Amino acid sequence: MNVSVPIVITIDGPSGSGKGTLSQMLARHLNYHLLDSGALYRLVALAVIKKGVELSDEQAVSKVAEGLDVRFSLENGESAQILLEGENVAGAIRQEVVSMAASQIAAYPKVRAALLERQRAFAIGPGLIADGRDMGTTVFPNAQVKLFLTASPEARAERRYKQLCGKGEAVDMSELINDIRERDERDSNRSISPLKPAPDAVIIDSTAMSIDEVFAKILTAIK
Ligand code: DC
């Protein structure tokens, strides 16, 4: 094998499937780089909102994606700060309003095209854990290992509920389930790079599993 080719492990799946946490655990365990591709779509959405650009204006939104001024500042190998035009927005991009906007703008082919090379540039030695929706299908079709994590909408809403309550945000459980279903629907049915497992992906349903159990299963799949 050509040693200069970095190993790429893709982890795709819907929000709340645990892929964010598991990608971080895996990157730390293997000492690999980490690409949180959802953060890029969230950054475009936040930049669009801040600039007062209409979310429905694909042309204008894709211009924002093309010119995105973002830096990930690293601390102990982990992403500590996400700087959008110099401002740390690591917390701001996780707001529900940004989640919904990100899902909307992620359906635009021009936005996806604008972010493609930016994502591929993360694949440097020794390896990369790529977390997203289309990592194994579109961005890294030649990845050596492809994983697809899933869980029922109810289980995912419950995880999100606990997360938001932990941050002191008031949330309504049935609203969360509806939001998740709505987002799933949009992410799975868009014409470009829909959320779906690559044909060669290992599918893991984490509905009734703890994070540690899923992690053990992932390590087995990688071996
Ligand atoms: O994983 P996340 O919730 O941070 O992603 C935010 C939004 O971006 C989500 O609605 C789906 C979209 N997304 C995408 O279309 N493709 C990716 N590779 C990652 C995220």
Which has the higher per-residue pLDDT, 72 or 207?
207
Residue in 133, 149, 187 to alter for ligand 1 test, most ligand atoms within 8 A of Cβ: 133
Regarding the beta carbon of 134 and ligand 1, being less than 6 Å apart is answered yes
Residue nearest to atom 9 of ligand 1 (CA): 103
Residue nearest to atom 10 of ligand 1 (CA): 103
At 123, the amino acid letter reads A
Regarding the beta carbon of 42 and ligand 1, being less than 6 Å apart is answered yes
- Average pLDDT for 84-109: 93
Regarding the beta carbon of 38 and ligand 1, being less than 6 Å apart is answered yes
Task: Check residue 76 and give its pLDDT.
Answer: 53
Alpha helices in 52-152 (DSSP H): 58-66, 96-105, 109-120
- Give the CATH architecture of domain 7-222: 3-Layer(aba) Sandwich (3.40)
Instruction: Provide the residue ranges of all domains of the chain, joining segments of one domain with +.
Output: 7-222
Regarding the beta carbon of 106 and ligand 1, being less than 6 Å apart is answered yes
Residue in 24, 34, 41 to alter for ligand 1 test, most ligand atoms within 8 A of Cβ: 41
User: In angstroms, what CA-CA distances link 170 with 17, 91, 160, 166?
Assistant: 22, 16, 12, 10
Question: Is residue 74 pLDDT above 70, yes or no?
Answer: no
> Are 222 and 9 contacting, i.e. CB atoms less than 8 angstroms apart?
yes
Residue nearest to atom 16 of ligand 1 (CA): 133
Regarding the beta carbon of 102 and ligand 1, being less than 6 Å apart is answered yes
pLDDT in tens, 142-199: 999 999 999 999 999 998 888 888 888 888 999 999 988 988 888 888 888 888 999 9
Which has the higher per-residue pLDDT, 55 or 194?
55
Residue 150, judged by CB atoms within 10 A of its CB (0-12, 13-18, 19+), counts as buried
> Are 203 and 148 contacting, i.e. CB atoms less than 8 angstroms apart?
yes
Return the SS3 of 170: coil
Bridge-based pairing state of the strands 145-150 and 127-132: unpaired
- 132 Cα to the center of ligand 1, angstroms: 6
**What count of Cα atoms within 13 Å lies in the side-chain half-sphere of residue 118?**
21
Task: Check residue 191 and give its pLDDT.
Answer: 86
CA torsion sign for 100, 133, 94, 118 is negative
- 65 Cα to the center of ligand 1, angstroms: 14
**Which residues lie across from 87 on neighbouring strands?**
84
N-term to C-term CA, the chain? 17
Q: What is the overall mean pLDDT for the chain?
A: 92
